Amino acid sequence: MTVTTASRAAARWPRLRPWLGTAARLGLAAVWLIAGGAKVGDLAGSGRAVNAYQVMPYDLATVIGAALPFVELALGVLLLLGLATRLAAGVSTALLLVFIAGIASAWARGLAIDCGCFGSGGQLAAGRAPSYLPEILRDLGFLVMAGFLLIWPRTPFSVDGWLAGDPPVEDEDE
């Protein structure tokens, strides 16, 4: 890359970054809203999915499983609105790291479970193979989105930006 090409790319970053942040914020909001929405109608099933990881007592797993959809829905709403974006991104980062560790742990221990990430989870039927690597890679992608928002939380069309006095769309002349 020549100096001219590098300087042009660097000059575009300030205009591109807010829109990448908006895409990350709305994409991650959709993930949490879909995941939480898929589980909220079956809180017992969500508890069974958490219990399938075999990392905590059954009673604790069922409580966490029942609470998780509401946490996911709250994160989705906050990110959709762009309200407390850095906080929502931080909680998202923590949850995603726990999810990745849980999936990796299940894989390493030879468990045959469905992650339960987007609804029913738990033990897989005999003959069904788990899909741990795609699940981990997917969550790593979501983790990148959350990390982006941790660093650059203010995006166009967000309550955070409006409260800070940002215009809805930045002028291209700036």
pLDDT in tens, 69-89: 999 999 999 999 999 999 999
For residue 172, is pLDDT > 70?
no
pTM, whole model, 2 decimals? 0.87
**pLDDT score for 121:** 78
DSSP state of 53: T
- pLDDT tens, residue by residue, 16-47: 899 999 999 999 999 999 999 999 999 999 99
pLDDT of residue 3: 62
> How does strand 122-123 pair with strand 113-114?
antiparallel
- What angle is formed at CA 65 by the lines to CA 94 and CA 151, rounded to 5 degrees? 15
* pLDDT on residue 119: 82
Q: Which residue has the tokens 């966490």?
A: 64
pLDDT digits (tens, 9 = 90+) for 94-148: 999 999 999 999 999 999 998 888 887 777 877 788 899 999 999 999 999 999 9
**pLDDT reported for residue 127:** 77
Residues β-bridged to residue 101: none
- pLDDT, residue 4, reads 72
Please tell me which residue, 2 or 19, carries the higher pLDDT value: 19
CA atoms within 13 A on the CB side of 161: 20
Residue 1: per-residue pLDDT = 54
Q: Which of 153, 111, 157 is nearest to 132 (CA)?
A: 111
Question: What pLDDT sits at residue 167?
Answer: 66
Provide the pLDDT for residue 7.
76
How many Å apart are CA 74 and CA 112, to the nearest integer? 30
